[in-house]
Amino acid sequence: MVKNLNVGGNIVAAGTLSATNDITSSGGNFGNIRIGITNDNEIDTTTGNLVIKESWPSQIRTVFGDHKRCIDTYFSTYPGYYFTGDSARRDEDGFYWVTGRVDDVINVSGHRLGTAEIESSLVLHSDVAEAAVVGYPHDIKGQGIYAYVTLMSGVEANETLRKELIAFVGKDIGAFAKPEIIQFAPGLPKTRSGKIMRRILRKVAANELENLGDTTTLADPTVVEQLIENRVNK
């Protein structure tokens, strides 16, 4: 007899019968499921990384053929908790608000910066068509800001524009958000559905070129070759 069991991670969850009136919230605890927020300094805080402290029977526990990867990804960061990979905050009513992916947050000299905020600032510049920001290892700051920038058609990439964009971000957000490195890129590595493969951008920025992972889903694999060839952080 074959028995089919539905299982899911943090993406598939139970609907709550007593939801908040503010539908933009992610809700709160439901039944025996207990959610929490933690970080490196506090086990239970109001802002930090989202974890599931007490879960439901069908939550993911392993990956077929790669149990260690499952444990390392979801259960090793905060032992005893299931780490979703999301950052979040909890409001005064006990409801949770997901604020972004942890791997899309850069810690620069103690400042936690969302990459989306820096990207949004860059694309406000009239010469910028698209931007993607990642962190890279920095000897002093822990992480530095590495920005890949695609310019508008007809705009020439040069050192003057690079400095102008760095100053532009500093004025818009603050000096702490200035990119250390800007790499002008004709294109960004995207899947066929248009999603930017940030994993590749992080690898290139960190000069970790030995294993870029699966690139078969890229719409244009030649983009990666161009990024590697023209990388600034050599």
All structural domains of the chain, each given as residue ranges with its CATH number in brackets, are: 1-102 (2.30.38.10), 109-229 (3.30.300.30)
Q: Give the closest residue to 60 by CA, choosing from 90, 88, 43, 85.
A: 85
Burial label for 18, CB within 10 Å (0-12, 13-18, 19+), is: exposed
Q: What does the pLDDT look like over 29-53, one tens digit per residue?
A: 777 888 888 876 667 788 888 888 8
pLDDT per residue as tens, the chain (234 positions):
444 444 455 544 444 444 555 666 777 777 788 888 887 666 778 888 888 888 888 888 888 888 988 888 888 888 888 888 888 888 888 888 887 777 777 888 877 788 888 998 999 999 999 999 999 999 888 899 999 999 999 999 999 999 999 999 999 989 999 999 999 999 999 998 888 898 999 999 999 988 887 888 899 989 999 999 999 987
Q: What is the pLDDT of residue 20?
A: 52
Q: What is the pLDDT of residue 24?
A: 65
Q: Give the closest residue to 234 by CA, choosing from 213, 203, 206, 212.
A: 206
Q: What does the pLDDT look like over 175-202, one tens digit per residue?
A: 999 999 999 999 999 998 888 898 999 9
Q: What is the pLDDT of residue 80?
A: 86
Q: What is the pLDDT of residue 70?
A: 85
Q: What gap in Å lies between CA 133 and CA 17, rounded to an integer?
A: 39
